[in-house]
Structure 1
């Protein structure tokens, strides 16, 4: 029964993902960037390998096919014919073709020998980067220079910086000049040092000397220096720095594992495009990708509403770019042949996304001087609520109230669980504002969401200053619900009309994707003098409306219920603007629906099985011949032998009568002519070979061959089990013949 339940409860086969219902496609911000890689002789071999891998990780992980990258190495020119800069990757657009070639050119980076110039010429590196980024490029596209180095500026061996005694000072002067040039050409500089030698103060000054305006007006997008201790941390750190400079979101994966291994990493529901970046360490490692619905995805083309493009499959670093990725936990399986499993495989995700808001004011039509509560709820572009605060970390929310007759009033909205905000970290930012006493006419509350890696979103909610007395009032009660597709959520609308004429209230549901939630009724007519409640219903859409995203713990679908009095003297007046939240979970399978029935059935089946076992055991014990005392009785009625039976075979104790004429006795014999077992009704049953079965009662006897009969007697005191034969002398005075003795003790 349990096995059948498991089969019936198994999930249905995957039906395929519906295309995203987003009305518009997001624009992915492009960036022009250059990567300057330190090639000085102080580098260890593993440092150079880490620099190459880091450069590949950010180039392949870029989510925009319009971004362009330049990669070059640098050290110092310390003799005639030497150059401080080694160009390896010319300006490359990171479309499909560019992503296929970028790994090969990055591989040309090398550690310089002592004869090639081994210093660290920062001014030349910055000059080269600014030239590459500002020549023939669109000034409206952000320009970013990443500077990777394991040391401090060292131009002591470079003749172009003048006399040896003045080279350090000249180097500082030229560095300052190049930083001014970078700022003038809108080039940001993000230095990243590694190892024990970098001068953090010098790197901070380099970051502060370039262009300071980032891709978004947030502190996280302002150029900054960073330092890591070991080469193994260089790739992840550069990805994080790259994400900050490029306004991407960065999601690190678990600690790397050697193949064969399966790594898991989550992609946010806010992501509209993302790159899963895999640092394989060895080009022979083979990677497969499985989406949260359990489907192994292709590495190129379209599948289930997403677009895939893989680059670097034959290199040590590869990246799968996904447009409209399915949110949730992705599995990255790494396999490798023998001899190529020594290096750990790491995974990370770079992504951009869209964040939307839904703003409400309560009351929606406040009176002058009254306090109103303003709430801005975060949503994905598909209008689902945002559940994980990490998805919008670093978010800035600004809000203001404007209207007729007063200057704009700034609002502070917070999601900290304090004051008017009921719950911290729930994606709803709340604050209060007092309507100016001289306010009259129209009102509008506006909120703007700004976060790095997420497109900014501005929402506004119009309102109107209400008169001191409202002839019609309404209050909605619609609790948050946890339901399945196709279900209904009911609530009540309390209405009151003190006017002498009827009023028509219009009900609507906003901030929700079409088909997900439907509100009814659409209109309510409130009669003059009426005061009471009306039923309202929210219908949840069918499962197909939600597609593959309806899985796991479900989706939190939010909306805003608005009730407008269309009969107000001054035009439409909003009486209610209330958020509604419905958690939609998948329809349960047979097991989830009827688990109690399956468990009850299993318990009954187990109880029945135990009962059968007990009954069989009891039956076996009641038939067990062990302890039966068998007596041979002569024709004259004398007891000539006694024998105590053992357990027997299948509850039958087999025996034979030996020397019937000289010294008659019973001996145990396999396949003997006679066999005996207990009878559940008392006494025993004798089985003869070829002669059927005969009931032997406690007081009766059965005629055997050679004028001998078989009777039963009580147990022999102190006798042992096991079928050992015991012979007793006739004793007429004992009363044993024909008596059942204490046989009842065996029943």
Structure 2
């Protein structure tokens, strides 16, 4: 059963979990669909083709539908004797609720290739009439009706007695096919032929697509039925693209398939109000975990952070997670599998529908007759956020017109190509100009309608009045570009000029944006007669909790309109200025104080380096290696010399061997004596009772009859020898070291 999970796309949401349900029920915005699947069972298709058709039928029948949708599935070939029939019903009209989806998977398995004695021709007229009957009998005419015709496109009724004499059967078949297609168009049944086999008859498939109802879910070329050749190896992606076109969904293919364990990424547009992440696992044993753009693991059923989730097909080779009000951004799909089930690649894609809204401005809003006005339609999400990626509104059609008293409607051409008057290409703002006719007087209204496949149409309008002359009050708003954090404000300037003789009270507000995201302070101002001073206006951003999870690391760009209304002059709209504010998350401790952290780390590193250098230098200056130790008798006679080597922990340890017979210095670890150089010249002698300075010219008693002195220091950097001041022998600078 392929694509069982995608059936959740428009099915009812699961019971709410601990999180509150979203404010808007997105699923209710998308009506159910009634459709039929006709599968060619004729002899012109091979067993492999039949297998591919059955897989496609299951994938379509359990695709993107609501629980209120219905589907029928039947096979067809030809009736070539009185006891045969052209159509084989396998799945009666079934509501695609949870139980219905389970039944569809079973009954699609009843499809089979016709044996020779059961009629192996191809009777298209009978198949189309059956599909039209199933879709029109007792159904709601307001629902879309779609017939998927799975075939190789080769009609063959030459052995069917119901088509008359053998010599005329081919011509009669074509005549009845034209009639069946005409009836399909009258009953508003779309026909989407899917071509199977090695060489499907493209001309026949195109004829059947063109003969049915041509107006799809939106009046766009992408939603009009067209034939499509389906290769068995590409059945998954091909069927999703066709299904998306037939039902006005957006289809986004993920990265190249990979074998588990792996993590695949797929993006969901900020325009999406309901989406289905489809995972073709290849092996039912593969386990899938879903992570939202914030990196949080999401449940497979229930609600979380304003989104609702429901999984279908978890035990099948294809599963899908349906998400109502999905968090926009990059989702991660983690695929894991036990040993022995990792040979097949995992693919991911997303099907979604959404809402595209616009904010329209007319500049000036109260023009005089004959003036040229500039109209701008800016694209937004339904929450008022700007759209970043032009791919989200690919295929968009914008229609606009100016209407009013005293003239016929004037069509406008709004473009986003960067050519005047449009300032920037591809930024989601469509701009055009129109001149108000000289005959205009009274009310004006400019309107624009956005239409795109997969997106609900949106019409916006702005009303105004033809100004009888120069208005007494004019206003212009300026807001410098800036990025702010939640709860912060941006200082703007409102330039006002009152040429009248009475004060005017102006109201300021933010429109075309979800309430509470942005506000203006002050909201009202009074302009005195003759006043033309600029006023400071603060655009205040809502606190972070108002944005919730929508405020990701990349931030959000709010798109609204500042409206200035003169309440003194019958609530006349003086101006409507586009407002764009980028909101970024409040930085953490690191982002806020990273300079201090780096400076502190650099200081610590410098101090550590200095300490290490000091220790190294001190160790070098106190190294005992090379000291010439002289052992002296009581009368000053030199009894022997001993050259010190490298010490232990900076000290050269020694003892006096045979002190009463033949005294001499010998190295001995943990001996009673030890020496090291002094940084200030000479050395230091360590005895058991403490440390004593050993000057370059002088001696220190070791025993009652023996003393220690220093010989010539061989090191070139050693301090020059000379007399030691008396104060140094008894303390002074040496005391600092000791």
TM-score bucket of the superposed structures, by smaller chain: 0.7 to 0.9
**Deviations, residues 196-215 of structure 1 (Å, cap 9, x unaligned):** 42343333233222221211
For 1:725, the equivalent position in structure 2 comes to: none
Q: Secondary structure at the match of 2:409?
A: strand
> For the structure 1 residues 285 and 717, does the alpha-carbon distance in structure 2 shift closer, same or farther, using more than 3 Å as the test?
closer
Conservation of the 8 A alpha-carbon contact between 2:493 and 2:536: yes
For 2:385, the equivalent position in structure 1 comes to: 384
1:438 counterpart = 2:439: yes
Which range moves more in the overlay, 429-438 or 271-280?
271-280
| CA distance in 2: counterparts of 1:631 and 1:121, whole angstroms | 123
Instruction: Report deviation, 1:158.
Output: 5.3
For 1:34, the equivalent position in structure 2 comes to: 36
| CA distance in 2: counterparts of 1:611 and 1:113, whole angstroms | 93
For 1:320, the equivalent position in structure 2 comes to: 321
For 2:274, the equivalent position in structure 1 comes to: 273
Instruction: Report deviation, 1:222.
Output: 0.7
Q: Secondary structure at the match of 1:287?
A: strand
1:626 counterpart = 2:628: no
Q: Secondary structure at the match of 2:279?
A: strand
Which range moves more in the overlay, 525-534 or 85-94?
85-94
| CA distance in 1: counterparts of 2:40 and 2:104, whole angstroms | 18
| CA distance in 1: counterparts of 2:428 and 2:108, whole angstroms | 42
| CA distance in 2: counterparts of 1:256 and 1:490, whole angstroms | 50
> For the structure 1 residues 626 and 90, does the alpha-carbon distance in structure 2 shift closer, same or farther, using more than 3 Å as the test?
farther
Alignment of 1:202-241 (within 5 A): 202-228=204-230, 230-241=231-242
Instruction: Report deviation, 1:364.
Output: 0.8
1:709 counterpart = 2:707: yes
| CA distance in 2: counterparts of 1:737 and 1:460, whole angstroms | 102
> For the structure 1 residues 446 and 660, does the alpha-carbon distance in structure 2 shift closer, same or farther, using more than 3 Å as the test?
same
Conservation of the 8 A alpha-carbon contact between 2:504 and 2:528: yes
| CA distance in 2: counterparts of 1:736 and 1:500, whole angstroms | 102
For 1:373, the equivalent position in structure 2 comes to: 374
Q: Secondary structure at the match of 2:219?
A: coil
Tell me, which stretches of 5 or more residues in structure 2 are unaligned?
1-17, 725-736
Conservation of the 8 A alpha-carbon contact between 1:152 and 1:197: no
1:186 counterpart = 2:188: yes
Q: Secondary structure at the match of 1:207?
A: helix
2:698 to 690, 694, 700: 700
Q: Secondary structure at the match of 1:224?
A: coil
Instruction: Report deviation, 1:699.
Output: 1.0
Instruction: Report deviation, 1:325.
Output: 2.1
For 1:7, the equivalent position in structure 2 comes to: none
Conservation of the 8 A alpha-carbon contact between 2:20 and 2:303: no
| CA distance in 1: counterparts of 2:698 and 2:51, whole angstroms | 101
Which range moves more in the overlay, 242-251 or 21-30?
21-30
Q: Secondary structure at the match of 1:406?
A: coil
Conservation of the 8 A alpha-carbon contact between 1:99 and 1:312: no
> For the structure 1 residues 219 and 644, does the alpha-carbon distance in structure 2 shift closer, same or farther, using more than 3 Å as the test?
same
Conservation of the 8 A alpha-carbon contact between 1:194 and 1:234: no
Q: Secondary structure at the match of 1:367?
A: coil
TM-score of the superposed pair, with normalisation by structure 2: 0.87
| CA distance in 2: counterparts of 1:572 and 1:274, whole angstroms | 42
Conservation of the 8 A alpha-carbon contact between 1:36 and 1:148: yes
> For the structure 1 residues 425 and 365, does the alpha-carbon distance in structure 2 shift closer, same or farther, using more than 3 Å as the test?
same
For 2:426, the equivalent position in structure 1 comes to: 425
| CA distance in 1: counterparts of 2:650 and 2:483, whole angstroms | 61
| CA distance in 2: counterparts of 1:640 and 1:46, whole angstroms | 110
Conservation of the 8 A alpha-carbon contact between 1:412 and 1:431: yes
Q: Secondary structure at the match of 2:568?
A: coil
Alignment of 1:527-676 (within 5 A): 527-568=528-569, 571-635=570-634, 637-658=636-657, 665-676=664-675
Tell me, which stretches of 5 or more residues in structure 1 are unaligned?
1-15, 719-734, 740-746
**Deviations, residues 556-614 of structure 1 (Å, cap 9, x unaligned):** 2222112122334xx33322111111122221111111111111111112222222222
Q: Secondary structure at the match of 1:237?
A: helix
For 1:65, the equivalent position in structure 2 comes to: 67
For 2:13, the equivalent position in structure 1 comes to: none
Alignment of 1:701-740 (within 5 A): 701-704=699-702, 707-716=705-714
Conservation of the 8 A alpha-carbon contact between 1:18 and 1:547: no
Instruction: Report deviation, 1:342.
Output: 1.4
**Deviations, residues 213-254 of structure 1 (Å, cap 9, x unaligned):** 2111111111112235x4232211111111111111112222
Conservation of the 8 A alpha-carbon contact between 1:50 and 1:232: no
Conservation of the 8 A alpha-carbon contact between 1:375 and 1:431: yes
Which range moves more in the overlay, 663-672 or 299-308?
663-672
> For the structure 1 residues 534 and 564, does the alpha-carbon distance in structure 2 shift closer, same or farther, using more than 3 Å as the test?
same
Which range moves more in the overlay, 133-142 or 599-608?
133-142
Q: Secondary structure at the match of 1:567?
A: helix
Conservation of the 8 A alpha-carbon contact between 2:33 and 2:65: no
| CA distance in 1: counterparts of 2:120 and 2:26, whole angstroms | 52
Conservation of the 8 A alpha-carbon contact between 2:490 and 2:538: yes
1:97 to 94, 99, 122: 99
Q: Secondary structure at the match of 1:70?
A: strand
TM-score of the superposed pair, with normalisation by structure 1: 0.86
Conservation of the 8 A alpha-carbon contact between 2:27 and 2:324: no
| CA distance in 2: counterparts of 1:646 and 1:195, whole angstroms | 94
Instruction: Report deviation, 1:17.
Output: 6.8
> For the structure 1 residues 255 and 25, does the alpha-carbon distance in structure 2 shift closer, same or farther, using more than 3 Å as the test?
closer
**Number of corresponding residues:** 704
Conservation of the 8 A alpha-carbon contact between 2:54 and 2:111: yes
Instruction: Report deviation, 1:83.
Output: 6.2
For 1:723, the equivalent position in structure 2 comes to: none
Q: Secondary structure at the match of 1:672?
A: coil
Instruction: Report deviation, 1:187.
Output: 2.0
Alignment of 1:120-269 (within 5 A): 122-123=124-125, 125-149=127-151, 151-153=152-154, 155=156, 175-193=177-195, 196-228=198-230, 230-269=231-270
Which range moves more in the overlay, 648-657 or 460-469?
648-657
Instruction: Report deviation, 1:360.
Output: 0.6
Conservation of the 8 A alpha-carbon contact between 1:271 and 1:324: yes
Conservation of the 8 A alpha-carbon contact between 1:57 and 1:279: no
> For the structure 1 residues 664 and 215, does the alpha-carbon distance in structure 2 shift closer, same or farther, using more than 3 Å as the test?
same
| CA distance in 2: counterparts of 1:58 and 1:432, whole angstroms | 46
> For the structure 1 residues 660 and 111, does the alpha-carbon distance in structure 2 shift closer, same or farther, using more than 3 Å as the test?
farther
Conservation of the 8 A alpha-carbon contact between 2:696 and 2:722: no
Conservation of the 8 A alpha-carbon contact between 2:628 and 2:712: yes
> For the structure 1 residues 63 and 644, does the alpha-carbon distance in structure 2 shift closer, same or farther, using more than 3 Å as the test?
farther
Alignment of 1:473-512 (within 5 A): 473-512=474-513
| CA distance in 1: counterparts of 2:682 and 2:46, whole angstroms | 96
Conservation of the 8 A alpha-carbon contact between 2:26 and 2:324: no
| CA distance in 1: counterparts of 2:560 and 2:679, whole angstroms | 75
Q: Secondary structure at the match of 1:711?
A: strand
